[in-house]
Amino acid sequence: MKEFICIVCPRGCHLKVDDDGNVTGNSCIRGEKYGKQEAIDPRRTLTSTVKIKSELVRRLPVVSSEEIPKDKVKEVVRCLDSVEVSAPIKVKDVIVKNVMGLGVDIVATRTIEK
């Protein structure tokens, strides 16, 4: 039996997931889906920043295009430490394609014109 706090919405239901993947404690179907995923393959959306050569800012905010395995988050953040881009950058530009071979891109969440 594994126990989690559901983080899908602010209600924070206390979930229990048995060895067969049955979820209890959820108040909606989204919590059931989250509990099953968290028990088998926990994933997170990564938000971070990378260096940018720009007249306006020093850091560019980025996000993963999809959730990545939770145990890879720190490695991906370390990988992004060595990334530097140059303006102009447009929102949704791919900054790192297929980061660490995970099949997920790192994309810009802000437009930096210069």
Binding interface with ligand SF4 (CB under 6 A): 6, 8-9, 11-13, 26-28, 30-31
Distance CA 42, CA 37 (A): 6
**CB-wise, 40 or 57, nearer to ligand SF4?**
40
Side-chain-side CA neighbours of residue 8 (13 Å): 19
CB 66, min distance to ligand SF4, A: 20
Q: What is the DSSP code (8-state) at residue 89? A: B
Identify whether the C-beta of residue 78 lies closer than 8 Å to the C-beta of residue 60: no
CB 38, min distance to ligand SF4, A: 11
CB 47, min distance to ligand SF4, A: 20
**CB-wise, 7 or 91, nearer to ligand SF4?**
7
Rg (CA), the chain: 18
**CB-wise, 45 or 111, nearer to ligand SF4?**
45
Distance CA 33, CA 43 (A): 12
**CB-wise, 12 or 88, nearer to ligand SF4?**
12
CB 11, min distance to ligand SF4, A: 4
Instruction: Please provide residue 83's backbone torsions phi and psi, each rounded to the nearest 5 degrees.
Output: -90, 130
